[in-house]
Amino acid sequence: SQTIYRNDYTPPSYLVETVELGFDLDPARTIVANRMTMRRNPGSKRAGIELHGENIELVALRMNGKLLGKRDYRIDGRLLRIPNTPDDVTLEIETLTAPEKNTTLSGLYVSNGNFFTQCEAEGFRSITFFPDRPDVMAKFTVMLRADKEKYPVLLSNGNLVEEGELGDGRHFALWEDPFKKPSYLFALVAARLVCQEERFRLKDGRDALLQVWVEEGNLDKTDYAMQSLKNSIRWDEERFGLELDLDRFMIVAVGDFNMGAMENKGLNIFNTKFVLANPRVATDVDYAGIEAVVGHEYFHNWTGNRVTCRDWFQLSLKEGLTVFRDQEFSADMIGTDSGRAVTRIDQVRTLRQAQFPEDAGPMAHPVRPDSFVEINNFYTVTVYEKGAEVVRMIQTLVGREGFRKGMDLYFERHDGQAVTCDDFRAAMADANGRDLNQFERWYSQAGTPVVGAVGRYDAEAKTFDLTLSQSCPPTPGQTDKLPFHIPVAVGLLGADGNDMQLGQGGLKGATAVLELTEQSQTFSFTGVLEAPTPSMLRDFSAPVVLEYAYTDDELLHLFSHDSDPVNRWEAGQRLAMARLSRLAGALANGGKLDLDDTFIDAMRKILVDATLDPAFREQALLLPSETMIAEKMGVVNPQAIHAARQFVRACIGACLRAELTSQYHANLTPGQYSPDALSAGRRGLKNLALSYLAAAPDADGVNLAQAQFDGADNMTDRVAALVALIQARADAAPAALHDFYQDFKNEALVIDKWFSMQAAAPDTDVKAVRALMQHSAFNLKNPNRARSLVFSFCGGNPAQFHAIDGSGYAFWAEQVIALDAINPQVASRLARSMDRWRRYAPALQLNMKKALQQVASLKKLSNDVREVVSKALA
Ligand code: HT7
Ligand code: ZN
């Protein structure tokens, strides 16, 4: 395996102008004919043509009409080279592939008897020989031929030009994409599917045809995806002035898919998980996921497709920006300040749960990585979520209007081009007359910066000095870091809980955005009439760890009064984290467990505060996860962390029993189910109350859960009740699981939930997981199913996965190896669950290392998995 470096980028030797693809589709033997016109790239110094190709059989190759023989070209591993080519070339290439044998779900593959493609990042090269790199953009015409009975629907990018019969039971469809695109955006579908369709009036008066394609039997689950698509189109018109540029936009759902969805031009292909929903089968979280992912893929049409990446190191150019756009879309769809804050809190949770650990582990990389072995390993929370934070910080620095100006300039300069993260930053800087040079370090330096804060109040001078300093821990290949440009949004609370008006120069209003650019800087607030409680990093203004020696009293003050809901929530998390890590430490050392009334009282106050949005109250009462607690511990003891968290949950359930019960009843949502944010928030708070009640030692909570399970008319309530029963180890849990399976055995996405609830159960050990793998519904080849059981156990049940006897690690090694033979992309995601092995107690470390070495020692291993395990062991 070879490391590829960003600095080695060279322009392509040839550009492709047009591509005509012909597919004779057959699961065992598909013939692909590719005719492309190419022209020497004036910017390149290399003489010949280089085409990528993998896992395909070359049948014939013609150049400018002449059949080439073996001596005219060379195939070196995965590259086909034709030396000394003329400036203008027409290549005709015929290849063979066997889609039914393709279990990688990259390239052309078969799922449930239908054909689909997945070309990002480098799947197109297993369809035909091609310069498969994003800076080669061409116009595609695609002819599909297939059996009409088996594959009545033939789809590709762009517009349908012609369709008809071929006479032998086969039919054809000819598609033309009017826009130039890189090969990773190519797609085809040949399938037995049905669709919900609608004509939708665009802002410029044109009508676009919108379609959502699914398997027969799922047409009762497409409304929400269609509604989300229409909302996305409208939102992009209004917020960014960006219109749909096609007459037709299609979403197709497929049950076998490596990721969430794919933004192929005009033909988005989605994991069924992010399309199919009705109240019977989908939870509130599923609905929110569909809205976000439909939005995300649609927004890529401009940020990713019209302007794409020069090379894969620039992945965050499209992904970070598009995540930021989908986050803003979801927040705007809720519409209220409080709803917006709840979405922001969710984003912060994801960062802390997944991105901060990645940034502190062996796979840490900058938002714009410098090198990789396998690009598929870099579709990460760093590139996506931290990338979105970086874009958000730019908006914080230039303001919302300034950000829009920057976006306009970006499209004015780069529409139709393949560009870099620097080009995006330059557009933002130039449109706003801002210097964003130092800001570049957010793209080039890995690691989570730590911002230390010290406040000093001078009662006589009525000033408050806030000294901020920054540091960033070393990450692989980067020992010393230079200071970042960090926006720190700050407010000062008085003793009455109100925001003080900040009186100094640019620091007017209730919140000031301080720009920390040095290693250490002091910011002075004047006219401060009393000692304030500082509320820092409001709205999580930067993806950093903020260290400030808050007292409990200060945190309680912020938890009760901060006008910034994100920091109000944050104060509660700090209060909880202090107790959870103390308790976990005590448990690890055989100490005594107790929980103070102060904490319980603070939780009570929020719980019963009817002026607060239920969704916010749910967030404020939710404890940090076991993974987040682990990140705060010096040495990780997963069993102690689990027991500590369970102890606090049981205390809350017992001490707040009356309030939790009354909030449970006050937040019922009778009547027809609706996934809107207010109803979902009420259900969220009610179901959190239920989970605390069920965690308490008495039987009342369990009885309530059983009643909710029996009477539920929607999946959110049904799953919440079942999880409460399972987590409480209730006697009724096995029967409820049995009934759940019987009721939903024909709904694949619900059976995924059935597996994952059991995988995360407190009593599920490796033996139990192995037994579940023997269930007739389990199938390791289906990524959703593998994630629902194997991943949910290895990543979502730390106390059992990290069993002292090392059985979890041996299981992990076995599954990584088994999956690698089927689907390296999925295997390598599972491999990542051992990233943080060096932080565990020595006895666990030893077994973790052994398991990693066992995988690393295999001769036959994909680049994907090898990169992950060798970096973990390095
Ligand atoms: N841009 C898409 C990435 C993607 C992908 C990458 C590697 C392998 C399979 C994949 N499926 C989709 C998804 C997105 O960010 O919108
Ligand atoms: Zn994306």
Tens digits of per-residue pLDDT, 89-111? 999 999 999 999 999 999 999 99
Q: Which residue has the tokens 């439909």?
A: 294
Q: What atom of ligand 1 comes closest to residue 304's alpha carbon?
A: 1
**What's the chain's length in residues?**
874
Q: What mean pLDDT is predicted for residues 502-508?
A: 60
pLDDT at site 507: 54
Q: What atom of ligand 1 comes closest to residue 258's alpha carbon?
A: 9
What is the rounded radius of gyration, in angstroms, for the C-alpha atoms of the chain? 28
pLDDT at site 590: 83
Q: What atom of ligand 1 comes closest to residue 300's alpha carbon?
A: 16
Report which bound ligand comes closest to the CA of 269.
1
Q: Is the CB of 583 under 6 A from ligand 1?
A: no
- With a cut of 90, say whether residue 45 has pLDDT above it: no
Q: What mean pLDDT is predicted for residues 562-573?
A: 98
Q: Which domain holds residue 122?
A: 13-192
- With a cut of 80, say whether residue 687 has pLDDT above it: yes
The residue to mutate among 252, 257, 258, 259, having the most atoms of ligand 1 within 8 angstroms of its beta carbon, is 259
C-alpha of residue 136 to centroid of ligand 1, in Å:
19
Q: What mean pLDDT is predicted for residues 793-808?
A: 98
pLDDT at site 591: 80
Neighbours of 60 (CB within 10 A): 11
CA distance 421 to 30: 38
Express each pLDDT in 443-469 by its tens digit: 999 999 999 999 999 999 999 999 999
- With a cut of 60, say whether residue 504 has pLDDT above it: no
Atom 15 in ligand 1: residue holding the nearest Cα? 319
- With a cut of 90, say whether residue 505 has pLDDT above it: no
C-alpha of residue 263 to centroid of ligand 1, in Å:
8
pLDDT at site 46: 78
Q: Is the CB of 488 under 6 A from ligand 1?
A: no
- Beta-strand pair 308-309/418-419: parallel
Q: What share of the chain is helix, strand, coil (3-state, %, to 5)?
A: 45, 20, 35
Q: What atom of ligand 1 comes closest to residue 319's alpha carbon?
A: 15
Atom 6 in ligand 1: residue holding the nearest Cα? 120
pLDDT at site 44: 85
Q: Is the CB of 296 under 6 A from ligand 1?
A: yes
C-alpha of residue 289 to centroid of ligand 2, in Å:
14
Say if 49 falls within a structural domain.
yes
The residue to mutate among 104, 109, 120, having the most atoms of ligand 1 within 8 angstroms of its beta carbon, is 120
Say if 736 falls within a structural domain.
no
C-alpha of residue 195 to centroid of ligand 2, in Å:
24
C-alpha of residue 329 to centroid of ligand 1, in Å:
20
- With a cut of 60, say whether residue 506 has pLDDT above it: no
Q: Is the CB of 376 under 6 A from ligand 1?
A: yes
Q: What mean pLDDT is predicted for residues 547-562?
A: 98
Say if 715 falls within a structural domain.
no
C-alpha of residue 257 to centroid of ligand 1, in Å:
10
pLDDT at site 40: 96
Say if 220 falls within a structural domain.
no
Sign of CA dihedral 842, 846, 851, 853: positive
CA distance 74 to 534: 67
| 297 catalytic per annotation | yes
For residue 278, the surrounding DSSP H or E stretch is none
Percent of the chain at pLDDT > 70 equals: 99
Say if 63 falls within a structural domain.
yes
Say if 782 falls within a structural domain.
yes
Q: What atom of ligand 1 comes closest to residue 257's alpha carbon?
A: 11
Say if 641 falls within a structural domain.
no
Q: Is the CB of 258 under 6 A from ligand 1?
A: yes
C-alpha of residue 82 to centroid of ligand 1, in Å:
31
pLDDT at site 868: 98
The residues placing their C-beta within 5 Å of ligand 2, an ion, are 319, 322
Q: What is the mean pLDDT of the chain?
A: 97
Atom 14 in ligand 1: residue holding the nearest Cα? 262
Atom 11 in ligand 1: residue holding the nearest Cα? 259
Q: What atom of ligand 1 comes closest to residue 259's alpha carbon?
A: 11
Q: What mean pLDDT is predicted for residues 834-852?
A: 97
CATH number assigned to the domain comprising residue 778: 1.25.50.10
Q: What atom of ligand 1 comes closest to residue 296's alpha carbon?
A: 16
C-alpha of residue 323 to centroid of ligand 2, in Å:
7
Q: Is the CB of 864 under 6 A from ligand 1?
A: no
Asked which of 175, 192, 209 is the last residue of a domain, the reply is: 192
Which residues is 513 bridged to in the sheet? 489
Report which bound ligand comes closest to the CA of 864.
1
CA distance 70 to 706: 71
Token digits of residue 79: 């590259």
The crossing angle, in degrees rounded to 10, of helices 614-621 and 565-588 is 30
Q: Is the CB of 263 under 6 A from ligand 1?
A: yes
Q: What mean pLDDT is predicted for residues 265-274?
A: 99
Atom 13 in ligand 1: residue holding the nearest Cα? 262
pLDDT at site 47: 80
- With a cut of 90, say whether residue 1 has pLDDT above it: no
- With a cut of 70, say whether residue 753 has pLDDT above it: yes
The residue to mutate among 109, 185, 262, having the most atoms of ligand 1 within 8 angstroms of its beta carbon, is 262
pLDDT at site 503: 66
Express each pLDDT in 587-633 by its tens digit: 988 888 999 999 999 999 999 999 999 999 999 999 999 999 999 99
Asked which of 173, 192, 211 is the last residue of a domain, the reply is: 192
**Number of separate domains in the chain:** 2
Say if 94 falls within a structural domain.
yes
Say whether the peptide bond before residue 121 is cis (omega within 30 degrees of 0): yes
The crossing angle, in degrees rounded to 10, of helices 337-350 and 565-588 is 30
- Spot the catalytic one: 215, 297, 319, 358: 297
C-alpha of residue 837 to centroid of ligand 1, in Å:
28
CATH number assigned to the domain comprising residue 101: 2.60.40.1730
How many CA atoms, within 13 angstroms, populate the side-chain half-sphere of residue 659? 21
Q: Measuring CA to CA, which residue among 543, 542, 550 is closest to residue 514? A: 542
Q: Measuring CA to CA, which residue among 339, 446, 431 is closest to residue 390? A: 446
Q: Which residue has the tokens 């002449």?
A: 66
- Say if residue 830 is exposed, middle or buried (CB neighbours under 10 Å; 0-12, 13-18, 19+): buried
Q: Is the CB of 564 under 6 A from ligand 1?
A: no
Express each pLDDT in 113-153 by its tens digit: 999 999 999 999 999 999 999 999 999 999 999 999 999 99
Asked which of 192, 218, 245 is the last residue of a domain, the reply is: 192
